[in-house]
Amino acid sequence: MRPILLDAASRAHRYLEELEMRGVAPSPHAVSRLSELGGPLPQHPADPEAVLAALDTIGSPATVASAGGRFFGFVIGGSLPAALAANWLAGAWDQNAGLAVTSPTSAALEEIALRWLIDVFHLPEQSGGAFVTGTTMANFSALAAARHSILARAGWDVEANGLFGAPPITVVVGDEVHVSLLKALSLLGLGRDRVMRVPTDDQGRMRADMLPPLTDRTIVCAQAGNVNTGAIDPVREICAAAHDAAGWVHVDGAFGLWAAASPALIHLVRGTEDADSWAVDAHKWLNTPYDGGVAFVRNASDLTASMSASAAYLQQSQKSGRGDPMLYTPEMSRRARGVEIWAALRSLGRSGLADLVERTCRYARRFGEGLASAGHPPLNEVVLNQVLVSFGEDDITRRVIDGIQADGTCWCGGTVWHGRAAMRISVSSWATTERDIDRSLAAVLRVAASSRRS
């Protein structure tokens, strides 16, 4: 395998080096060539090196350069060097991470990474954790644990009997709830439309003073990091109200929870540690390769009760402290995604992680200040790494967004904020430099000026 693996490494290295020179969005020509990778299923085997060459020659130019420093769409990080390299090595290992017996290394690294993450987020030491594909599945896993806990207390075994005939659960969300949380609720049979919505303030934070009456059958879903503004719900107040009624609080902290890693920003997430479950992404702000997210549940047994499965042929680990990883996740067989989470944390350390979070927030502020100086003040308070901006009439803003995507210097997406079209700028990558911000700001201002003229 040596030649093909070295070839892959050298192609990957060249790809990353060339990101500096190419447009962030792929050209329409590059995308149109993707059909060359298709056609009927080949009748006969092909040379593996030719397969790789085709993938690189046709696939690489049609990628979005989100691994570089000038992609500001959605909330997408790059891949830290140690995390990317660990991901490659783990690919070579090809471990099934579901059982300790099929991957002692993965099980151990997940356990270590879990302890480190619990430390970073100041969560209860004994919390259980699940290494899943992202925050959608982390929300799903944590809410499955919440559903278990509430119904078990009511004398109902939801894993055995399902929800038909079960005592009703009330789910409370903020008006600015992320759509992935609603998706998780719908998958769990809790319904995306039967939630109670709480009004939010001008930054999208749930109004804790407007919570409905809560009971011990209520799950309140708070959010740390509004996808548009970065604003964080008043989780301490929400927890106090919900816990007074013996209800459950879940925090969707896909990216915002990482504020806890920074001594300068931790005040924003104070009180999140009071909740009962949490969801966070690694592939966003921790800058691990896709895909990776983690669910944490204060009482690990609520998570294992909702996720467990057993069969005679599945050797369950007795030795490992937390038992087999599959006892915590919706999946059984899965990749060893904890390896790159471990590598990212090991390579950054506490100070590197704080620096990553603070640096990207500083760059977001720099972007926002540059826009404001040019007459386009951000629509949001830039508290984290998200900037929202409008360039006047909605169609002008939309033209600027289309224009910047076509220009290629950087990539920013669009949204609607309080009824107005807005451009979103999310600075989430370790690879972004001050020069990237200045180049991108200049490009946005150039495109904005020409969109106003046209």
Ligand X SMILES: Cc1ncc(COP(=O)(O)O)c(C=O)c1O
Residue 223 within binding range of ligand X, rule CB under 6 A: yes
CA atoms 136, 137, 143, 144: torsion sign: positive
Size of the site for ligand X (CB under 6 A): 15
Q: Using the minimum distance from each CB to ligand X, give the nearer residue, 254 or 447.
A: 254
State how far the Cα of 74 lies from the Cα of 178, in Å rounded to an integer: 12
Q: What residue is closest to ligand X based on CB?
A: 134
Q: Using the minimum distance from each CB to ligand X, give the nearer residue, 425 or 448.
A: 425
- Spatial CA neighbour of 279 closest among 170, 136, 183, 124: 136
Residue 421 within binding range of ligand X, rule CB under 6 A: no
Q: Which helix (H) or strand (E) holds 420?
A: strand 420-426
Stretches 41-49, 134-142, 157-165, 353-361: which one binds ligand X (CB under 6 A)? Answer: 134-142
Of these, 26, 78, 134, 174, which contacts ligand X (CB under 6 A)?
A: 134
CB of 183 to ligand X, least distance (A): 9
State how far the Cα of 354 lies from the Cα of 118, in Å rounded to an integer: 15
CB of 245 to ligand X, least distance (A): 25
Phi, psi (rounded to 5 degrees) for 94: 50, 55
CB of 195 to ligand X, least distance (A): 15
Residue 289 within binding range of ligand X, rule CB under 6 A: no
Q: x/- binding map, residues 68-107, to ligand X, per CB under 6 A?
A: ------xx--------------------------------
Q: Using the minimum distance from each CB to ligand X, give the nearer residue, 105 or 415.
A: 415
Question: 191 in the Ramachandran plot: left (φ > 0), alpha (ψ -120 to 50) or beta?
Answer: left
Residue 436 within binding range of ligand X, rule CB under 6 A: no
Of these, 65, 211, 214, 227, which contacts ligand X (CB under 6 A)?
A: 227
- For tokens 């000026």, the residue is 449
Q: Using the minimum distance from each CB to ligand X, give the nearer residue, 134 or 338.
A: 134
Q: Using the minimum distance from each CB to ligand X, give the nearer residue, 142 or 348.
A: 142
Residue 252 within binding range of ligand X, rule CB under 6 A: yes
Q: Using the minimum distance from each CB to ligand X, give the nearer residue, 102 or 229.
A: 229
* 98: number of Cβ within 10 Å: 22
CB of 444 to ligand X, least distance (A): 21
Helix and strand counts by DSSP (H, E) for the chain: 13, 10
Q: Using the minimum distance from each CB to ligand X, give the nearer residue, 261 or 447.
A: 261
Q: Using the minimum distance from each CB to ligand X, give the nearer residue, 135 or 141.
A: 135
The bridge status of strand 196-198 relative to strand 170-174 is parallel
CB of 312 to ligand X, least distance (A): 34
Of these, 67, 143, 190, 254, which contacts ligand X (CB under 6 A)?
A: 254
Residue 225 within binding range of ligand X, rule CB under 6 A: yes
CB of 172 to ligand X, least distance (A): 16
Stretches 107-115, 248-256, 265-273, 411-419: which one binds ligand X (CB under 6 A)? Answer: 248-256
Q: Using the minimum distance from each CB to ligand X, give the nearer residue, 173 or 445.
A: 173
DSSP lists the bridge partners of residue 278 as 251, 296
CB of 182 to ligand X, least distance (A): 10
CB of 113 to ligand X, least distance (A): 17
| Encoded tokens for 122 | 């100041």
Q: x/- binding map, residues 263-282, to ligand X, per CB under 6 A?
A: ------------------x-
Sheet holding 413-417, edge to edge: 386-389, 420-426, 413-417
**Alpha-carbon Rg for the chain in angstroms:** 23
Residue 178 within binding range of ligand X, rule CB under 6 A: yes
Long-range contacts of 107-112 (CB under 8 A, 24+ apart): 107/317, 107/320, 107/324, 107/325, 108/320, 109/336, 109/338, 109/339, 109/342, 110/325, 110/336, 110/338, 110/341, 110/342, 111/320, 111/321, 111/322, 112/342
- 356-379 burial, b at 16+ Cβ within 10 Å, e below that, comes to bbbbbbbbbbbbbebbeeeebebb
Q: Using the minimum distance from each CB to ligand X, give the nearer residue, 67 or 254.
A: 254
Q: For residues 426 and 386, is the Cβ–Cβ distance under 8 A?
A: yes
CB of 53 to ligand X, least distance (A): 32
| Encoded tokens for 272 | 């999140």
Interacting positions 292-351 with ligand X (CB under 6 A): 293
Residue 144 within binding range of ligand X, rule CB under 6 A: no
Q: Using the minimum distance from each CB to ligand X, give the nearer residue, 250 or 376.
A: 250
State how far the Cα of 268 lies from the Cα of 235, in Å rounded to an integer: 10
Q: For residues 339 and 112, is the Cβ–Cβ distance under 8 A?
A: no
State how far the Cα of 386 lies from the Cα of 378, in Å rounded to an integer: 10
Q: For residues 19 and 79, is the Cβ–Cβ distance under 8 A?
A: no
Residue 180 within binding range of ligand X, rule CB under 6 A: yes
Residues near ligand X (CB under 6 A): 74-75, 134-136, 178, 180, 223, 225, 227, 252, 254-255, 281, 293
